[in-house]
Structure 1
């Protein structure tokens, strides 16, 4: 009789909120009224609309199908390839458009941050970027907000370039002034010694012609403290967590070369894609190497709250008014570009949630 051997233990009560049988999603956000929005960047799948709302169990293009159709004549008002959507808790959905389908060079004038009024479902404002902010190598990834500073607040965006410098882009929302900070710094750059291992195998670029190269992506995950004073961030290909004072980031009298002395190192949290903060200052992050979700307490203590074989690449996080932590699980590591042109993803992709009993960190007083 064959003996029953010990196996790895899994834990964490996860629920599937939605199953995706079409294009692969990356971003999710839950508004203060419980509306759920997702996005689908154009990475090779048949993306019919790059931003959608999950409405009564169905995906609906948001705010309209027309907005999701690329219009060369009105490129600032149409979505090209959206990587991130963020509801700010006060009636606005923010859409971060990379304008870089398939990680191409961003279309000039197309990379943007778009504010949509959730009451009228209409675009309220569009922020575009100059060529010294969005570089030919830039890939706009994720964004966080603080409306307690400045006349209209600030946005902080990660540039997760695979070919150029990583950075945090600071945007003054009153006038759209934007500038790069920690440009090419060690804390926003891929860890050159990091060898990602997912599902027991080394993750690297494996091209259809048989050539290979290391998988390298710069600053990606970003989270902001409940008082807006601290920004947490991490490169995608790294296990390290960093933070910096947002006041220091906004202060342009401090040269960028001196910012490195203001960066705080929090240690290894696992290799993460997205991050999010709750109202008590706890940072939630995925660990895509270990099918896990972690939380980092304000004192630096790290705990795993979910470890499950279905957590196949935890991507973006959001916390809803129902005090659930929502996460997109999208099998990013199984894409064809990592497997000599063979797509190993298995549908459906999932939107999961786990009860945490906390509200999201506020963005305003």
Structure 2
């Protein structure tokens, strides 16, 4: 077997949900620090640069989103890299930001912006699904990689991304968290911009058909206004790279399992899909997670959105390092060089689409951090 990295070893309406609102408050474990609060649109992604600069993003899911990427400056969100780039234009999909799901600072001091080009989860705008690199020294866009239509499918929803820059320009790994088509992993050669879908529709990148999330004591289902309840099914979402770059970890949002695959096989264009699928390792249950991250000590972090918690995998055992009723849907994770784990808590499960058209979110949303005494994975 290929070697895997060391980390292997609100209450909602009773009428709407049909469930009693009675639920014991989660036990408080660990200490979380508030970094920022958000009184406007709901954030998803966060990333922390080596010098402490913090960037966030707001996907265009239905909130009024004046800019989809921002830098936090003195606690205030400012459009980044500028206001004009943040004005969506379907006629210039490669040049403007349509709906950003994730932002990640790489080991060469660039902010990579992952644009879904799928506002409100509508069919993706052709030519708009892309990776955009901004040089943090100059705050200017220096690279745009548009994903072709046979890689970013009409149903594709680009979710999160990780980078390994050790070989030439390096490689990016992206999760496709589609809600209506196949999930999958996308591998991008940063030198050529060539991209390939891998494990498209594989069980490890697909929603668990038997999974039903229970959040704040209620089953989480799609409950549109005036429409029937439907299962909430989201494909591959969280993603993390091991400290040595040998292993990619990932998980569907609609699942409690963590999966891993050796990156050397994932990068290889010669290996068949069947042979690649045989390399996938199911690491068992970790809780239901949105974001994932790994640190430079070989440990993996995962949110547990059903239990208002953050968990860590170390030497084969999961441990809850933070649990608090304020951790309402831990979304994206980022580790700073200050040895803190940062994450957004955005009440995603309280959106109107899950509650018959009634928005149960209560502002502000939050950016928190937890001291972990480890640094980020930096593969350069």
- Report the TM-score when normalising by structure 2: 0.92
Instruction: Check if 1:212 corresponds to 2:235.
Output: no
Residue 198 of structure 2 is aligned to residue 181 of structure 1 = yes
Aligned to 1:79: 97
Of 50, 56, 60, 1:42 maps to 60
Give the 3 Å change call, closer, same or farther, for CA 273–7 of structure 1 in structure 2: closer
Alignment of 1:329 onto 2:329: no
Q: 28, 32, 48: which is aligned to 1:14?
A: 32
| Structure 1 outlier segments of 4+, above 4 Å | none
Equivalence for 1:293:
310
- Asked if the contact 1:287–1:293 (Cα under 8 Å) also holds between the matched residues in 2, the reply is yes
Counterpart residue number, 2:125? 107
Aligned equivalent of 1:307: 323
Contact 2:107 2:165 in 1 (8 A): no
Give per-residue Cα distances to partners, 1:122-153, cap 9 Å, x unaligned: 0000000111101010000000000113x210
Distance in 2 separating the partners of 1:57 and 1:122: 22
Distance 2:188 2:301 in 1: 24
- How does the TM-score come out when normalised to structure 1? 0.96
Could you tell me how far 1:73 is from its partner in structure 2? Answer: 4.2
Specify whether residues 214 and 73 from structure 1 end up closer, same or farther in structure 2 by C-alpha distance, changes over 3 A only: closer
**RMSD of aligned C-alpha atoms?**
1.1
Q: Is the 8 A contact 1:325 1:355 kept in 2?
A: yes
Q: Give SS of 1:253's match.
A: coil
Separation (CA, whole Å) in 2 of partners of 1:91 and 1:73: 30
Q: Counterpart in 2 of 1:222?
A: 239
Q: Which has the higher contact order (CA 8 A, sep 6+)?
A: 2
Query: Aligned partners of 1:215, 1:72: CA distance in 2, in Å?
Result: 29
What is the Cα deviation at residue 329 of structure 1? 0.2
Question: How far does residue 8 in structure 1 lie from its aligned partner after superposition?
Answer: 5.0
Query: Are 1:117 and 2:141 an aligned pair?
Result: no
Task: Render the CA deviation track for 1:18-48: whole Å, top value 9, x for unaligned.
Answer: 0100000000000011100000000000000
1:336 Cα shift?
Answer: 0.3
What's the offset of the Cα at 1:356?
0.7
1:237 to 250, 254, 264: 254
Q: How many residues align?
A: 357
**Structure 2 contact 291–332 (Cα < 8 Å) conserved:** yes
2:354 matched residue in structure 1? 338
Match for residue 357 of structure 1? Answer: 373
1:127 aligned partner: 145
Matched, 1:259 2:301: no
